[in-house]
Amino acid sequence: MSELASLEADVLASVEAAADEAALETVRVAALGKKGSISALLATLGKMAPDERKTQGAAINALKDKVTEALAARKVILKEAALEARLVAETVDVTLPVRVTPLEAGRIHPITQVMDELAAIFADLGFSIAEGPDIESDDYNFTKLNFPPDHPAREMHDTFFLMPDAKGERKVLRTHTSPVQVRTMLTQKPPIRVICPGRTYRCDSDQTHTPMFHQVEGLVIDKQANLGHLKWVLEEFCKAFFEVSDVKMRFRPSFFPFTEPSMEVDIQCSRKGGEIRFGEGDDWLEILGCGMVHPNVLRNCGLDPDVYQGFAWGMGIDRIAMLKYGMPDLRAFFEADVRWLTHYGFRPLDMPSLIGGLSS
């Protein structure tokens, strides 16, 4: 094999063997650089005879062109391979995960859920829902409910008073939903069977009290309503709401200006392991107040107490929600913490019903 053929084979083999562009550049310099093997052959042409220079010059330049083409072709291949390797190594997933739908991410606030549970229970018992304004007159909030002027019982409610209006009357943020009962008795004829859920306001704040909270009150007015009916309604409510087959209740004498007699109601419970369970145990927990509607309240609302009588009760919606679902602090209900709502909230389609289960 001639010297040129041997050199060509060596250089092309080196080009083919180059693993990357840096190695290929080393091969190029070794062949075509100033001191490269092919460049050294070109330097010898000046010492040759004219005929030999013509023949060898053409052969050496042909070799140079061939090596240059091989280097260019190999460089393209190595550049594509390097790009492919880089793309594999630097892969970034730019796709977004599937967004959670509102039905999956959204949550119903426990207060809203409990209000729906109350509506389902009492609708089954034949009650309708009555509503009224949050800002009330002193007459509806106190006077018509048998609170005499300057009576100490008014101070029990820690009332928020608004600035006097043009007539000098000071409206109040209602301290209970009892004004809704007054409005119902003034506008409807007996028999009356309503519950009155809604927001109420008192100047108080701690772990179990907030300046704004929720109450539900119930009212029954007809000619035969009595304490036996009241006891049955409350027992049926507690069994349905706490989802137990049986409850024991005790009624203790108390005082409310708008009922006579007045009672506070305790429900049997167990506190073992720091968990409150109803329908079992030897302990008791107060959950509501109730009584027979005071005759003065009936008169103030245009009803004859010699013809009609009735009973009423009231309880804190926030409180019974805490008891049922194990929430330790009332203030968290109103802090708008999405983490708390995600934990304690209910799915939008978890509509309570007595058939399917209130909280199932």
Q: What is the pLDDT of residues 287-333, one digit of tens each?
A: 999 999 999 999 999 999 999 999 999 999 988 888 888 888 888 88
| Residue given tokens 């080009």 in the structure block | 15
C-alpha span between 328 and 342 (Å, rounded):
16
Where b means 16+ CB within 10 Å and e means fewer, 150-182 reads eeeebeebebbeeeeeeeeeebbbbbbbbbbbb
Q: What are phi and psi of 45, to 5 degrees?
A: -65, -30
Confidence of residue 124 (pLDDT cuts 50, 70, 90): very high
Pairing between β-strand 128-129 and β-strand 192-201 as defined by DSSP bridges? parallel
Beta bridge partners of 159: none
Q: Hey, CA dihedral for 339, 341, 344, 349, is it positive or negative?
A: negative
Residue 207 has pLDDT above 70, yes or no: no
| Residue given tokens 């009735």 in the structure block | 310
Residue 279 half-sphere exposure toward CB, CA atoms < 13 A: 13
C-alpha span between 131 and 88 (Å, rounded):
66
Confidence of residue 226 (pLDDT cuts 50, 70, 90): very high
Residue range 165-175: average pLDDT? 86
pLDDT at res. 311:
97
C-alpha span between 154 and 267 (Å, rounded):
28
Range from 101-115, 222-236, 239-253, 333-347 that averages highest in pLDDT: 222-236
C-alpha span between 271 and 45 (Å, rounded):
109
pLDDT at res. 49:
72
Confidence of residue 190 (pLDDT cuts 50, 70, 90): very high
More confident residue, 102 or 81: 81
Confidence of residue 81 (pLDDT cuts 50, 70, 90): confident
Under 8 Å between Cβ of 173 and 159? yes
Amino acid in the structure at residue 11: V
Whole-prediction pTM value? Answer: 0.69
Under 8 Å between Cβ of 330 and 213? yes
| CB neighbourhood size of 254 (10 A) | 15
- For the chain, give the percent of residues with pLDDT over 90: 37
By CB atoms closer than 10 A (0-12, 13-18, 19+), residue 318 is buried
Mean pLDDT of all residues belonging to the chain: 85
